[in-house]
Amino acid sequence: MTYTASSFDTLPCTPGWVTSGRAENPEDVAFRSGAALSHLHLVLAQPDVPQDLLRARLVLRAAEVSITHMGRPERAADLRDAVAFLQPGDNPGPAGEVYLSWQRAVERTVSVKAVHRALPEVEADQIATWLDAGQGAPVARAAAVLQAVIEKRPRDHTATLLLADAALAQALGWSHVLPLLALGLKRTDHRTTGEELRIACHGVIAAAAVEVTREATDLARRAARLKEVAPKLRAKGADEAVALLLSRDAVAPTALTSLRSGRAARRFCDRLVELGPVRELTGRDTFRLYGV
């Protein structure tokens, strides 16, 4: 299948000197994290990057890290199942609650209110105090928030990572939280403070920014493919269904309510798998999930 050209083909690649070699001192680590963040900022500004889908994909990974830090066994497939088939009144379980917290954190413009919606057990005034805890450059501010939250809630890994990434997003002037620290901060990093913690944050952010840049480029390409085949989908409600697929990590056919029926939705998803831009994510014959 031939796909039409799109500006994702010209998305700038991360400079090789950012990813090659190993930073030998704190100055090098900080320089590389700044360069990687600057490059990521340029990539995120590209119109072909599906912002909602990118955040949804990163949220799944951030939730998986949070769950791992809690010592729980659930992984990405379990988290998808815990949330995708929820009915009103259902209990998603501890792992599902963590995943939902991350989803709520990125759904709205970053603010105290948005973070409180994701972490309702934390007082809004306390969230505001923490988000104001850091001073200086973005990574230093995020590290200061991280340390402040760890001191008060040492076992609440979800709140710690979420608030640190919220502080980073605010400092960078981004409209929404984008998980970065949550992708790579280790449990042992939570036991460090001061300069050691800042250096760890610089290293994690540098690696995560490069990783997210690759993910954004890949999703831009996948989204372009889906938009190209969309006109071939003559089902009523196809446009709304495509829009949903471009905003979520995983979609159950039952969520595609714009289509005529559950059977029509399943046929629609299977057709997209045949055409190439969508994947079936579970490997099951029933209760399937689909994603770009």
pLDDT > 90 in the chain, percent:
85
- Number of structural domains in the chain: 2
User: What is the pLDDT confidence band of residue 1, given thresholds at 50, 70 and 90?
Assistant: very low
* pLDDT greater than 90 at residue 10: no
Alpha-carbon span 127 to 125, nearest angstrom: 5
Do residues 53 and 145 both lie within one domain?
yes
What's the pLDDT tens digit per position in 43-66?
999 999 999 999 999 999 999 999
Same domain for 138 and 56? yes
* 275 occurs within a structural domain: yes
* Token output for 283: 């490997």
Rounded average pLDDT over 257-280 = 95
What is the Cα–Cα distance from 138 to 61, expressed in whole angstroms?
22
- Assign 4 a pLDDT band (cuts: 50, 70, 90): very low
Residue 230: both structure tokens together: 């969309």
Domain boundary among the residues 220, 249, 283 is at 220
Measured CA to CA, the distance from residue 201 to residue 192 in angstroms comes to 11
Give the phi and the psi of residue 291 in degrees, each rounded to 5.
-155, 155
> Tokens 């340390």 identify what position?
147
Query: Which of the listed residues 193, 220, 247 is the one where a domain comes to its end?
Result: 220
Q: Verify that 164 and 38 share a domain, yes or no.
A: yes
Residues 196 and 287 both lie in one domain: no
**Is the pLDDT at 246 greater than 70, yes or no?**
yes
Answer whether residue 4 is part of any domain. no
Bridge pairing between strands 279-280 and 290-291: antiparallel
- Is residue 58 domain-shared with residue 151, that is, in the same domain? yes
Does a structural domain hold residue 107?
Answer: yes
Confidence of residue 234 (pLDDT cuts 50, 70, 90): confident
Would you say residue 1 lies in a domain? Answer: no
- Quick check: is 13 in a domain? no
Same domain, 183 and 249: no
Instruction: Give residue 20's pLDDT.
Output: 66
96 with 118, same domain: the answer is: yes
Same domain membership, residue 159 and residue 42: yes
Pick from 8-17, 139-148, 265-274: least confident: 8-17
pTM for this structure?
0.92
Q: Where are the alpha helices (DSSP H) in 178-287?
A: 181-184, 194-229, 238-245, 262-275
Angstrom CA distances, 1 to 111, 225, 229, 245, 276, stand at: 43, 10, 10, 21, 9
pLDDT tens by residue, 131-144: 998 888 999 999 99
Checking if the pLDDT of 228 tops 60, the result is yes
Residue 239 sits in a domain whose CATH number is 1.10.10
Residue-number span of the structural domain to which 201 is assigned: 23-220
Within-domain flag for 168: yes
Mean pLDDT of 279-290: 97
Note whether 144 and 259 are same-domain residues.
Answer: no
pLDDT digits (tens, 9 = 90+) for 160-218: 999 999 999 999 999 999 999 999 999 999 999 999 999 999 999 999 999 999 999 99
Structural domain contains residue 50: yes
Is pLDDT above 80 for 244?
Answer: yes
Asked if 63 and 116 sit in the same domain, the reply is: yes
Asked if pLDDT for residue 2 goes beyond 70, the answer is no
What pLDDT sits at residue 3? 40
- SS3 at position 192: coil
Q: Among 220, 251, 266, identify where a domain stops.
A: 220
> Do 240 and 216 share a structural domain?
no
Per-residue pLDDT tens over the stretch 83-131: 999 988 999 999 999 999 999 999 999 999 999 999 999 999 999 999 9
* Within a domain: 17: no
* Averaged pLDDT of the chain: 92
Residues 94 and 69 in one domain: yes
